[in-house]
Amino acid sequence: MRINRRMADDGPMYPEIEPRTSGHLDTGDGNLVYWEECGNPAGKPVVFLHGGPGGGCSPAHRRLFDPDAYRIILFDQRGCGRSLPHASTTTDLSLNTTWHLVADMERLREALDVERWQVFGGSWGSTLALAYAETHPDRVTELVLRGIFTLRASELDWYYRGGAANVFPDLWEKFQRPIENLDGDPVELFARLLADPDPDVHGPAAVAWSTWEGATVTLHPRPELVAEFAVPEYALAFARIENHYFVNKGWLDEGQLIRDATRLADIPGVIVQGRYDMATPAVTAWDLHRAWPGSDLVLVPDAGHAYDEPGILAALLEATDRFRG
């Protein structure tokens, strides 16, 4: 009998669950990627892709899937979470790119003897999910995506070059403080500060970068979330990796992931998007849906960006339940 989500006493997700097994995948280039499995070992494989880049997985992410039906696989992407080495100011990020992560997913799939899997990703995780699925469509059973982000110039301009300042002028001012006396592109300026070995330089820059996101991803303010984003060790890895990806435009051609959505023609999927998502505005989800006719788009009318906002969470659980077989 499948577990009823209503058995969980702290919300609509499935009850808390612990990993059955875990380990570190040796990528062969000095990185050890943490992974874990929970749920039914004979169930339908699903891989969860966290956001950021640089965010890492949490125990709550396991609870998005029916543990009786799914073989649930989570991993922390290079440089973050429990993967090694952790991104510090001395960590070389040259081997941390979108295509390294796509290759890591294939290594992990093969190491765990998975033929095909469902791919679930939100925010940056949707970027990685699309990059993977468009490269290896024969390995993907379904896509469940949330808060669509494809690293187009217009998306980065909106969030990091002043567009969102029109909605959050007070928070934008805090974000800008480390670079307020510097001239140049904000993303490039933060890259310079984050690479500085002096903690008095890279520390405040990392917290400013990270808390800008923590403060703007929900429809209603959540101070406890901002506090999590402000933890120095987390903020430094998150900011360094994320900024590194954005400076390099994700190693993607402009508009590549929307352009190549035709490769998803045989993959069913659900796109869940908050109407008032300020981090990844709904136009990108709309553009992806138009380019991928096999997708279903759920526009949540009273939500921002975070996966655990009530309407978004309900739609994600409905999607994973729908595809569990």
Give the C-alpha separation, 192 to 173, whole Å.
19
pLDDT at 313: 98
Give the C-alpha separation, 322 to 247, whole Å.
38
Residue 232 lies in a domain: yes
Strands 32-39 and 70-75: antiparallel
Q: Which residues are catalytic?
A: 123, 277, 305
- Residue among 100, 35, 101, 32 at smallest CA distance from 74: 35
The single-letter code of the amino acid at 38 is C
Give the pair of three-digit tokens for residue 102. 């796509």
Task: Calculate Rg over the CA atoms of the chain.
Answer: 19
Is the pLDDT at 6 greater than 70? The verdict is: no
Q: Mean pLDDT over residues 195-224, rounded?
A: 97
- Residue among 186, 293, 258 at smallest CA distance from 194: 186
Residue 181 lies in a domain: yes
Same domain, 315 and 259: yes
The residue with tokens 């499948």 is 2
Give the pair of three-digit tokens for residue 315. 């739609």
Give the C-alpha separation, 296 to 298, whole Å.
7
> How many domains are there within the chain?
2
pTM of this prediction? 0.96
Q: Mean pLDDT over residues 10-28, rounded?
A: 94
Q: Which of 76-90, 199-213, 218-232, 307-321 is predicted with the least confidence, judged by mean pLDDT?
A: 76-90
pLDDT at 8: 52
pLDDT at 4: 53
Same domain, 133 and 262: yes
Same domain, 39 and 166: no
Q: How many CB atoms lie within 10 A of CB 226?
A: 19
Mean pLDDT taken over the chain:
96
pLDDT at 7: 46
pLDDT digits 0-9 by tens, 66-120: 999 999 999 999 999 999 999 977 778 999 999 999 999 999 999 999 999 999 9
Same domain, 43 and 85: yes
Residue 3 lies in a domain: no
pLDDT digits 0-9 by tens, 238-253: 999 999 999 999 999 9
Give the C-alpha separation, 175 to 260, whole Å.
34
Give the C-alpha separation, 143 to 134, whole Å.
11
The residue with tokens 């209503």 is 6
Q: Mean pLDDT over residues 174-200, rounded?
A: 97
Q: Are 263 and 292 in contact (CB under 8 A)?
A: no
- Residues of the chain with pLDDT > 70, as a percent, come to 97
Is the pLDDT at 280 greater than 90? The verdict is: yes
Same domain, 303 and 188: no
Give the C-alpha separation, 315 to 272, whole Å.
7
Helices (H), the chain: 98-111, 124-135, 153-160, 169-176, 186-194, 199-216, 223-229, 232-247, 256-259, 282-291, 310-322
Q: Which domain range does residue 219 map to? A: 154-250
Same domain, 242 and 255: no
Same domain, 170 and 82: no
Is the pLDDT at 222 greater than 80? The verdict is: yes
Could you write out the DSSP letters of every residue in 50-68?
-STTTT---GGGGGGS-TT
Give the C-alpha separation, 136 to 117, whole Å.
11
The single-letter code of the amino acid at 300 is V
CATH number of the domain that residue 310 is part of: 3.40.50.1820
Q: Are 177 and 208 in contact (CB under 8 A)?
A: yes
Q: Mean pLDDT over residues 47-63, rounded?
A: 97
Is the pLDDT at 189 greater than 80? The verdict is: yes
φ, ψ of residue 198 to 5 degrees: the values are -80, 120
Q: How many CB atoms lie within 10 A of CB 11?
A: 12
The single-letter code of the amino acid at 320 is T
Residue 166 lies in a domain: yes
